[in-house]
Structure 1
Amino acid sequence: METFKNPILPGFYPDPSICRVGDDYYLVTSTFEYFPGVPIFHSKDLVHWNQLGHVLDRSSQLNLDETPCSCGIYAPTLRYHEGIFYMITTFVVTRTGERKNFYVTATDPEGPWSDPYWLQSAPGIDPSLFFDDDGKCYYTGNRVPAGGEQYPKQREIWLQELDLDKQELVGEKIVLWDGAVKQAIAPEGPHIYKVEGKYYLLIAEGGTSFTHSVTISRSKSIKGPYEPSMTNPILTHRHLGKGYPISNVGHGDIVQTQYGEWWMVCLGSRPYGGDFRNLGRETFLVPFTWEDGWPVINPGKGMIELEMPKPKLKERKWSLSPACDHFDKEKLSHIWNFVRTPRGDYWSLKERPGFLRLKLKPETIMEPSNASFIGRRQQHKNFVVRTLMEFTPLEEWESAGVILLQSSQYQLRLECRLQNNNKVVQLIRRSDGREETLQEHPLNVSKIFIKIEAVGQQYSFYYGEKSEEWNTFIENVDGSILSTDIAGGFVGTYIGMYASSNGQTSDHYVDFDWFEYVGDPYEQ
């Protein structure tokens, strides 16, 4: 029996949403404060995915200025109807402040996608769209009950018709469900489907950590009343204990293949080195069947496994992206992201062909700003990163290097700077906003080779003045501060290139010749 390995999208790819168009499958995930927003993937077999680009790739679509860490774009839903793709999502302004819901459209999933249609009087988060047989479109999301919270994180799922011609919600708001468990925590991520004449409402509840789960209810009418399944939660791993390799599964979306099989995509995490999730929440795939009108996830087991039988679809692999980016293209690869919407002309692939140039900005990565940073996700527990950097600081406030970034308050920075008019390379650990220099070494060259090796939670740092002639800088640094379990929030670790003039004005820059990321292909 042929099998595939979970997760299908390793690293920080949470809140997956999927749709099928003929023989093609498309999937999107959350991006929070990172830009471009909402990566979109294409697959033919549900296992191998090729990134087409990003849905929100223009500043006119996504203004993340001063967006706090783990705010921004939450839980997109992707749907297709009569030749048009719809992506609807929430922009979370602050963790406790305003939520703004909007959707964009495209006739081609590669784009261009429209500018946002902002929806008024749409409280809560995690919007989804459902197109009924009569042509009507319905919006569903979660919200605080009209009478206010009676207990912490009390929410209810609500429904309203969406007039696509006017781009506005119309008619009355109808409360559908408040979760399967009495006093359910954070019912969210709702999706409606119609299967054999019945409406099914799939949601997440139990919070996004260890007790996360997927529950379901059904009704003869889209407006309810909805009957919960007696087998709820239909998917959770909270009963498996913290030793199971996949944790906090939830936030599912389902799809039926052209051959009749049913599959669910959902988020989950792979803790390692203890109960630490440096990789963030990842995208997993699991089959299910229907029994007595209800889904049965992975029959006989009821859980997601690291290796599972493949879908009965013709395998379609895509060309692998090169491990090393030589920055010799006209555009950045889709793997690269900025933190918040890029403002100013601070990076270039053209000023020095074959190099990525980052100009020093006053903004730093230690504040909710658009710092001079370009990074990619950590996707493996064990990996090696290497790069060649050219930088000669001219002032003591100038710095540049490589960063392992969890948030503005939790990070590891290997950077070059001046100290007492001498060039040094330093490893700085920032934890809960407090900084500590773990190691420092004098440096007398403008070109520096940098290598980071991670084996589980042990991160080791090396440098060299010549290719493959490595000097040990510091080994076995505890990387658990890069996990959401310590740092909080909802994102995974990023690895990237960084430069700053730390509050001062500077015309200086740093050049990166190439950047290589190699993950362990055999790990699970």
Structure 2
Amino acid sequence: MTVARNPLLPGCYPDPTICRVGEDYYLACSSFEYVPGLPVFHSRDLVSWEQIGHVVDRPGQLDLDGIASSGGLYAPTLRHHDGVFWVVCTLVDQQDETRGGNFLMTATDAAGPWSDPVWLDADGIDPSIFFDDDGRVWVHGTRPAREPAWHDQTEVWVRELDPATKALVGPEHVVWNGALTGVVWAEGPHLHKVDGTYYLVAAEGGTEFHHAVSVARADSVTGPYVGSKGNPILTHRHLGHGSDVIGVGHADLVQAVDGSWWAVLLGMRPYGGYHYNLGRETFLVPVVWEDGWPVLAPGVGRVPAEVDVPFALPARAGAAQGGASGVVRPGDLRWTALRRPPAQLATARGDGWDLPLRPATLSEPGTPAFLGVRQQHQDVDVRATVRADLAAGEDVGVAVRQSEDDHVRLFAAVTAAAGVRRERSSPSTAEPASRPRSGSWRCRVPPTGP
């Protein structure tokens, strides 16, 4: 028996979606304004995961230029049917609602290459796709309710997809408005068919402290759907801000080779106060079926620190759960940049990168001279060697980034030997330090806000 440790994918890997192909499992996550976009992982046992590629990984595939933090690529759904992998997703520009929308991409290998996007005639966010056993294909997603009964009420719609033309056809069906009266932001809907019954699994409550997982079922894919009396079937909001994991929600289900069921979902680990600087991470819980309904984390009712996976393979040399730490060299799939692929910004040289200066800064929604990897541990030491011939007004260094408004820079410049700057939406402050312009810098990453 092998134990999966939660989080399954530590660090900013939100909105997980999962599917099984034979004995192989594939998982993808949101990436927002970071490129390459939509990281894809592979596992043989739900415990050891290896990143194998990205869905969005080349120039011209999607345009994210100018998209601010918390925009970009939202909540993908990954499925496999008749030898083809399908991803449906949303590109969001919160400053320009006419830009982006819902799209799908396909590939014969989950590692890629993936097709260019096919745009769907559907509004809202968080699209999902369901292949029924009668050959019909259905796309579903969520949006603000057309006739809301309360503020921020949303609705889940379902519409048929022609797989040949990749176009939505036929009438639209609104099938869900939320499990509870007054509930907000039904997100991440996924349809599953189990023993002839259709199940709609959706997140509710907003992707923060009140996040939750709810479920409804129907005899027809277009409804009517009836919610479980146990809704929400998983949440941590009743545990308070002091819980070790908060914001649990956005679940996707998968049936394992041995017939058992599992759910991947997101949550956050707060530390240093009510801060979750690692972002939304991917967790794993077991699922059982009782009286025709899924029960997540049975007997526990919360995300456990460890999950027994009876069919898991013996630990393999070099296998990692969610990505190894240590030296991150060029070619490592964990490298990411803002709004453009790293290869467009830098050239690999030995164990490092040549990164030309760019006029954009971290404080604006452009593409600065920035390459990064996701922070995966609450207590982490970062070592980096930087060398540069700087002119007046130029600086170089290491940054901890959350957004345009919140980041910390450890930098060297011509006008000052070095400095530390914490930049926020409020006026920033600088704390000068005495460090060489080039060399090895060691910094401990502090909490930078929620």
Q: Give the TM bin, normalised by the shorter chain.
A: over 0.9
Structure 1 counterpart of 2:359, from 362, 368, 372: 362
Secondary structure of 2:381's match?
strand
**Partner amino acid, structure 1, of 2:162:** D
Change (3 A) 1:325 1:225: closer
1:402 corresponds to = 398
The amino acid across from 1:28 in the alignment is: A
Alignment-derived partner of residue 287 in structure 1 = 286
Report Cα offsets for 1:410-439 as digits up to 9, x if no partner. 1110111111xxx51110110215221122
Equivalent runs, 1:195-274 vs 2, <5 Å: 195-274=194-273
What displacement does 1:323 show?
1.1
How far apart in 2 are the matches of 1:344 and 1:301?
A: 46
Q: What is the correspondence of 1:61-76 to structure 2 with a 5 Å cutoff?
A: 61-76=61-76
Contact 1:45 1:311 in 2 (8 A): no
Alpha-carbon distance change, 39 to 326 in structure 1, aligned in 2, over 3 angstroms? closer
Pair 1:415-2:411 in alignment:
yes
Match of 1:34 in 2: 34
Return the structure number with greater strand share: 1
Q: CA deviation at 1:270?
A: 0.5
Unaligned runs of 5+ in 2: none
The answer to whether the 8 Å contact 2:75/2:188 transfers is yes
SS at match of 2:254: strand
Q: How does 1:460-475 map to 2 (within 5 A)?
A: none
Quickly say closer, same or farther: Cα 1:210–1:346, change in 2 above 3 A. Answer: closer
Distance of aligned partners of 1:344 and 1:40 in 2 relative to their CA distance in 1, 3 Å threshold: closer
CA contact (8 A) 1:346 1:360 kept: no
Conserved? CA contact 1:342–1:370, under 8 Å: no
Please list, as runs of the form range in 1=range in 2, the aligned pairs for 1:137-148 lying within 5 A after superposition. 137-147=137-147
Residue in 2 that maps onto 1:109 = 110
- Tell me: CA distance 1:49–1:354, structure 2 relative to 1, closer, same or farther (3 Å): closer
Query: Structure 2 length as normaliser, TM-score?
Result: 0.95
Q: Give secondary structure in 2 for the equivalent of 1:208.
A: coil
Displacement of 1:173: 0.5
Q: CA deviation at 1:59?
A: 2.1
Equivalenced residues, count:
445
Which amino acid is 1:371 matched to? P
Offset at residue 214 of structure 1 (A): 0.4
Per the alignment, residue 51 of structure 1 pairs with 51
Return the alpha-carbon distance in structure 2 between the equivalents of residues 358 and 314 of structure 1: 41
The answer on whether the counterparts of 2:192 and 2:198 sit within 8 Å (CA) in structure 1 is: yes
| CA distance in 2: counterparts of 1:430 and 1:312, whole angstroms | 47
In structure 1, what is the equivalent of residue 382 of structure 2? 385
User: Aligned partner of 1:16: which letter?
Assistant: P
Structure 1 residue 191, shift from structure 2 partner: 0.5
Q: 1:471-521: per-residue Cα shift (whole Å, max 9, x none)?
A: xxxxxxxx2xx23x2xxxxxxxxxxxxxxxxxxxxxxxxxxxxxxxxxxxx
Task: Give the whole-Å Cα distance in 2 for the aligned partners of 1:78 and 1:326.
Answer: 28
Contact 1:88 1:103 in 2 (8 A): yes
Note the C-alpha offset of 1:314.
Answer: 2.5
Structural RMSD (CA): 1.7
Secondary structure, in 3 states, of the residue corresponding to 1:190?
A: strand
Which residue of structure 2 lines up, in the alignment, with residue 189 of structure 1? 188
CA distance in structure 1 between the partners assigned to 2:433 and 2:276 by the alignment: 28
2:81 and 2:186 mapped to 1: Cα distance?
27
1:57 to 1:442, Cα distance in 2 relative to 1, 3 A: closer
1:239 partner SS: helix
Which amino acid counterpart does residue 256 of structure 1 have in structure 2?
Q
Instruction: Quote the residue 1:507 is aligned against.
Output: none
Query: C-alpha offsets along residues 205-248 of structure 1, whole Å, 9 cap, x if unaligned?
Result: 01111110000000111111101101111110111222221111
Residue 115 of structure 1: how far off its partner (Å): 0.5
CA contact (8 A) 2:131 2:138 kept: yes
Task: Check whether the contact 2:47–2:312 (CA below 8 A) recurs between aligned residues.
Answer: no
Whole-Å Cα distance in 1 between the matches of residues 315 and 24 of structure 2?
11
Q: Check conservation: 1:255, 1:264, Cα contact below 8 A.
A: yes
1:189, 1:39 → 2: CA distance? 17
Letter aligned with residue 397 of structure 2 = G
Q: What is the one-letter code of the residue matched to 2:104? A: Y
Structure 1 stretches of 4+ with a deviation exceeding 6 A read none
SS at match of 2:238: helix
For residue 125 of structure 1, report the CA deviation from its aligned partner: 0.4
Deviation per CA, 1:177-214, whole angstroms, max 9, x where unpaired? Answer: 11100122001111001100100010000111111000
1:437 to 430, 440, 445: 430
5+ unaligned residues in a row in structure 1: which ranges? 460-478, 486-524
- Relative to the length of structure 1, the TM-score reads 0.82
Report the more deviating stretch, 283-292 or 302-311: 302-311
